[in-house]
Amino acid sequence: MNEKTIATIALRNGEYKDLQATLVDAAQWLELASSQGADLAVFPETINLYHRAHDSAPLEERALDNWEQATESLREIAAQSRISLVLPLLVRDNGVLANRFYVLAKDGSLLGYYQKLILAPGERDCGVKPGSPAPIQWEGLTMGGAICIDIYYPQKVFDPQIEAGADFFVVPSLTPAGSFLDSSAVLYGVPIVLAYAPWSRILDRDGTELVSGGYRWETLSMGFGSPVLQATINFDAVTLFADHNQAKMLDVQKHYGRKVRIRFDQSNCVFTLESRSADLSVSEVMQEFGLLSRRDYFTQYGPCSLDANGLTQAPLDGQREPA
């Protein structure tokens, strides 16, 4: 078992008078998330633009030339509260405009950043430069990333990070993503954390919605309650396609008892297997029972090519023929 509690924090987009006001509001919710046991907090996309209703300057003029100095007060609160932070900002780095999120450890040290790959027309017009998808190491896990419309290009954005071992994705956003988010969680078999001020969501690896909410709530928009949403996710878990695995699930439950938990999603034909014990890993269970993850199943049993006589040849893309 390897559980982490992750929080999304919504902010009032467009309602702050300046960046300092945004950071003050962000800090109070960050402290609340920490007090509620969150290991990681994720803010929505480019929070240094959330006062733009009171600032008519062009987008490129609102980029931060020294993001560490500009966000020092918020970063100090995070370090004092011992909570890791995903901090999304529009920045200027050595003269280059970039839409990024920075990942800070619980002690405040910088672990790395993700730079948006797929740019909106307005970003292209003002010279924002795309980045290259690369996951970041965080507390023994590999954190994948996406920003806003990156979500709609999963093969370009998610695929290379999954190949690099991404255990989950954090997505600061100005789009709700909708069913694209659900399908990506199921397709890639990893949890996804969407931080979107009107309606944030945290999805488990089988697409199950663990928590959702934001400023679409009239109660929240009237000033009641908290814009902090959080969920505890077990990262020692895997999704299994029913074929190949389904005949073994009852045996797994009988053998391990309370040390494992199995959830079945009939509509997607997916079992979710997780370890509930400190002395048992999911990889051990899979090895003992010869289980195959959903992702590996579809890689291994991918489409085969046919020769001129219509006979089956080796699977496409170098995949091996199923036994």
- Greatest Cα-to-Cα distance within the chain, rounded to the nearest angstrom: 71
The full set of domain ranges for the chain reads 3-234, 237-306
Task: With CA atoms as reference, report the closest residue to 87 among 97, 230, 77.
Answer: 77
Q: Nearest 10 degrees: CA dihedral of 250, 256, 259, 263?
A: -10
DSSP 3-state of 315: strand
Residue 322 has pLDDT above 60, yes or no: no
Average pLDDT, the chain: 91
Q: Are 134 and 121 in contact (CB under 8 A)?
A: no
Quick one: which H or E segment has residue 156?
A: helix 154-163
Residue 314 has pLDDT above 60, yes or no: no
Q: What fold characterizes domain 237-306?
A: Alpha-Beta Plaits (3.30.70)
Confidence category of residue 309, pLDDT binned at 50, 70, 90? low
Q: What fold characterizes domain 3-234?
A: Nitrilase/N-carbamoyl-D-aminoacid amidohydrolase (3.60.110)
Q: Which of 169-178, 240-249, 273-282, 298-307 has the lowest mean pLDDT?
A: 298-307
DSSP string, 219-251: HHHTT-S-SEEEEEEESSEEEEEHHHHGGGHHH
DSSP 3-state of 109: coil
Per-residue model confidence (pLDDT) at position 55:
62
pLDDT tens, 61-113? 889 999 999 999 999 999 999 999 999 999 999 999 999 999 999 999 999 99
Confidence category of residue 310, pLDDT binned at 50, 70, 90? low
pLDDT tens, 10-60? 998 877 888 899 999 999 999 999 999 999 999 999 999 887 666 667 778
Confidence category of residue 319, pLDDT binned at 50, 70, 90? very low
Per-residue model confidence (pLDDT) at position 323:
28
